[in-house]
């Protein structure tokens, strides 16, 4: 196995190598400028019994509310001949469930409902270009189906343009529909020019009317949050926390869904705090500050990155393992960049190559 085929850091371009080339020495690079973690050992204070957390996740109140929400999702059945308002109510409920961070409990039910919505085969853009049409639900329906993986064409959005190729003026007066359109446009694939145009238009229009022309304080916060971090690009736990506040002021909100979302958020947060305790304890046992003073201490950042990929309690072991891998890779990277001489980096690279040669499953 040749070194050129391995995705390993190159010692030739490291700060240590450049320092040696300039000064003609083999001194290690100073790491005094590396910032330390701002988190300290605070997560060692959050210790919970994992068995108790699992039992808490299945406590009677949580289970009762979960079944109530499941019933809501199922009861809002979608079938041929249903009115647009009924379908709109169903989609609004599914959107709320997903944004509030409890969609992982009802993946099967949500998938079945959206499949039936897609099977209806109705043109969701049939009157989208007409003044007074339901832009909000048309855009919402497009986004939810796209998120679920259904091949929904965006060509209907072209109806939002007038004969001169400009977006129709009445769109700027439909703030709620405009925000839904903005969120939907983020589901674009490469080459879907109409969605790129919609996103540009919706972004500029929302920025022009925010905040002076928005009278509802809660809706102001929703627009502000969406312009900074659209839902599709937001970390799930962050989206859930903000959505709980937004949903509580929504005139269409369901009290049981809101109560379940709050309870579930707090329970899942305790899972994450326990995981941070375990990783922090492991990290402290390595004594990084003493043994690797040149390395970055980015435990929280590493865990947050992993948590943003999968937050559900059932992936607990995966989060802990992935966080440890991230941290060890950071130490290895800083060893090359901030500490090792050329000779040391070369010897380390050869050692890694020998390890991978005898353990090909690690590649």
Q: Could you tell me the CATH number of the domain that includes residue 157? A: 1.50.10.130
Task: Identify whether 70 is part of a domain.
Answer: no
| Domain end point (choices 253, 280, 304) | 253
| Domain end point (choices 193, 225, 253) | 253
Per 3-state DSSP, the chain is made up of helix, strand and coil in percentages (nearest 5) of 70, 0, 30
Task: Identify whether 57 is part of a domain.
Answer: no
pLDDT of residue 14: 45
Task: Find tokens 């941290």 and name the residue.
Answer: 327
Residues 243 and 284 grouped into a single domain: no
Task: Find tokens 């990155």 and name the residue.
Answer: 305
- Identify whether the C-beta of residue 324 lies closer than 8 Å to the C-beta of residue 332: no
Task: Identify whether 61 is part of a domain.
Answer: no
Q: What pLDDT, in 10s, does the model give residues 74-100?
A: 876 666 556 677 788 899 999 999 999
Residues 189 and 272 grouped into a single domain: no
Task: Identify whether 219 is part of a domain.
Answer: yes
Helices (H), 211-298: 217-228, 236-248, 255-286, 288-291
Listed in sequence order, the residues at least 6 apart from 337 whose beta carbon sits closer than 8 Å to its beta carbon are: 9, 14, 15, 16
Residues 81 and 228 grouped into a single domain: yes
Task: Identify whether 150 is part of a domain.
Answer: yes
- For 26, the domain range is 3-49+263-362
pLDDT of residue 126: 65
Phi and psi, residue 216, nearest 5°? -80, 115
Q: Is the dihedral of CA 10, 12, 13, 14 positive or negative?
A: positive
Residues 195 and 326 grouped into a single domain: no
Give the up-direction half-sphere exposure of residue 25: CA atoms within 13 A in the CB hemisphere.
6
β-strand partners of 161: 167
Quickly count: other Cβ atoms within 10 Å of residue 107's Cβ.
Answer: 11
pLDDT of residue 267: 93
Q: Is the dihedral of CA 8, 13, 15, 20 positive or negative?
A: positive
Task: Find tokens 């400028």 and name the residue.
Answer: 33
Q: Where on the phi/psi map is residue 40: left (φ > 0), alpha (ψ -120 to 50), or beta?
A: left
Task: Identify whether 165 is part of a domain.
Answer: yes
CA–CA gap between residue 87 and residue 241 (Å, rounded): 27
Average pLDDT for consecutive 10-residue bins of the chain (363 residues)? Answer: 41 45 47 64 70 75 94 74 75 95 95 88 63 81 93 88 86 90 94 94 91 82 93 94 94 93 94 92 88 87 93 94 94 89 92 85 64
CA–CA gap between residue 223 and residue 238 (Å, rounded): 15
- Identify whether the C-beta of residue 330 lies closer than 8 Å to the C-beta of residue 295: yes
Residues 84 and 218 grouped into a single domain: yes
pLDDT of residue 235: 94
Residues 216 and 97 grouped into a single domain: yes
Residues 349 and 242 grouped into a single domain: no
How many domains does the structure of the chain reveal? 2
Task: Identify whether 60 is part of a domain.
Answer: no
Which is nearest to 138 in space by CA: 99, 163, 171, 167?
A: 171
* Tokens coding 230: 């659209």
Burial class (CB in 10 A: 0-12, 13-18, 19+), 177: buried
Residues 111 and 226 grouped into a single domain: yes
Residues 243 and 279 grouped into a single domain: no
**H/E run at residue 155:** none
pLDDT of residue 123: 63
Task: Identify whether 65 is part of a domain.
Answer: no
pLDDT of residue 169: 86
pLDDT of residue 362: 64
pLDDT of residue 326: 93
| Domain end point (choices 225, 253, 281) | 253
Q: What pLDDT, in 10s, does the model give residues 164-197?
A: 888 888 888 889 999 999 999 999 999 999 999 9
Residues 199 and 290 grouped into a single domain: no
Residues 157 and 210 grouped into a single domain: yes
Q: What is the dihedral of CA 354, 359, 362, 363, to 10 degrees?
A: 60
Is the pTM above the cut of 0.85?
A: no
Residues 173 and 273 grouped into a single domain: no
Listed in sequence order, the residues at least 6 apart from 333 whose beta carbon sits closer than 8 Å to its beta carbon are: 9
């Amino acid at each position: 196995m040749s070194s050129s085929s391995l995705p390993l850091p190159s010692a030739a371009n490291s700060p240590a190598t450049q320092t040696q080339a300039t000064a003609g020495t083999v001194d290690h690079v100073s790491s005094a400028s590396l910032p330390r973690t701002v988190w300290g050992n605070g997560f060692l204070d959050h210790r919970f019994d994992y068995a108790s957390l699992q039992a808490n996740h299945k406590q009677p109140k949580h289970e009762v509310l979960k079944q109530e929400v499941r019933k809501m999702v199922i009861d809002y059945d979608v079938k041929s001949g249903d009115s647009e308002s009924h379908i709109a109510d169903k989609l609004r409920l599914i959107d709320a469930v997903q944004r509030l961070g409890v969609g992982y409990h009802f993946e099967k039910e949500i998938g079945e409902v959206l499949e039936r919505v897609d099977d209806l085969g109705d043109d969701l853009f049939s009157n989208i270009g007409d003044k007074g049409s339901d832009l909000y639900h048309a855009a919402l329906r497009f986004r939810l189906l796209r998120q679920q993986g259904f091949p929904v064409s965006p060509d209907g959005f072209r109806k939002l343009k007038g004969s001169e190729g400009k977006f129709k003026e009445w769109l700027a007066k439909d703030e709620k529909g405009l925000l839904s359109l903005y969120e939907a446009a983020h589901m674009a694939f490469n080459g879907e020019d109409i969605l790129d145009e919609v996103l540009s238009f919706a972004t500029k229009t929302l920025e022009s009317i925010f905040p002076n022309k928005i009278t509802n304080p809660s809706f102001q916060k929703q627009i502000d949050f969406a312009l900074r971090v659209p839902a599709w690009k937001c970390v799930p736990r962050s989206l859930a926390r903000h959505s709980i506040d937004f949903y509580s002021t929504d005139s269409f909100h369901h009290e049981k869904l809101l109560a379940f979302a709050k309870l579930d958020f707090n329970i899942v947060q305790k899972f994450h705090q326990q995981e941070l305790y375990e990783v922090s304890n492991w990290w402290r046992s390595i004594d990084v500050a003493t043994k690797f003073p040149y390395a970055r201490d980015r435990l929280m950042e590493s865990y947050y990155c992993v948590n943003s990929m999968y937050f559900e309690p059932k992936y607990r072991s995966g989060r802990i393992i992935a966080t440890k891998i991230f941290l060890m890779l950071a130490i290895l990277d800083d060893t090359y960049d901030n500490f090792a001489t050329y000779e040391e980096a070369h010897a380390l690279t050869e050692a890694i190559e020998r390890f991978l040669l005898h353990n090909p499953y690690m590649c």
